[in-house]
Amino acid sequence: MATSTTMPVVYVVDDDSDVLGSLRFLLETDGFSVRTFRSGAALLNGITTGEVDCFVIDYKMPAMSGIDLASRLRNRDIEAPIILITGYPDEHILEKAAAAGIHHVMLKPHLEESLATQIRGAIQEAQPVSLSHRNDLR
């Protein structure tokens, strides 16, 4: 996990390069260190254990869905919070997400307004932090 003297680290996975660029800009502007990946396989091959504070993962991607990727991360004992983003929610997405260890699901058209807040909240929920670090996340 990032220390209190560094920016929180967020790994973003989406097969759409335009979405990746937009999310990188949005999150870096909000004070996060961002690393992007175009697929679940790229993330699994490039993950640095212990570095990431939160994952933002697209639901519908070719070859491996966001739900499948989350399950694989949990199977590797990676416990950082996962936020699933989707433009295509289905009636069972919350159940599938919960079963894969995902606690937050957000709709893509509305990410700008609350994604940074959701990430900060997920990081705080994931582990107790000192008061000084809690202020750094704001």
What are the two backbone dihedrals, phi and then psi, of residue 13, each rounded to the nearest 5 degrees? -125, 120
Residue 5's pLDDT band (boundaries 50, 70, 90)?
A: low
Per residue in 58-82, pLDDT tens?
A: 999 999 999 999 999 999 999 999 9
Residue 133's pLDDT band (boundaries 50, 70, 90)?
A: very low
Residue 103's pLDDT band (boundaries 50, 70, 90)?
A: confident
What global pTM score does this model have? 0.86
Domains of the chain, residue spans: 9-126
- Please report, to the nearest 10 degrees, the dihedral formed by the alpha carbons of residues 120, 124, 126, 132 taken in order: 120
Distance set, CA 70 to CA 7, 54, 56, 120 (Å):
23, 12, 10, 19
Q: What is the pLDDT of residue 50?
A: 81
With 70 as the cut, is the pLDDT of residue 126 above it? yes
The CATH number of the structural domain formed by 9-126 is 3.40.50.2300
pLDDT (average), residues 24-29: 96
Percent of the chain with pLDDT over 70: 88
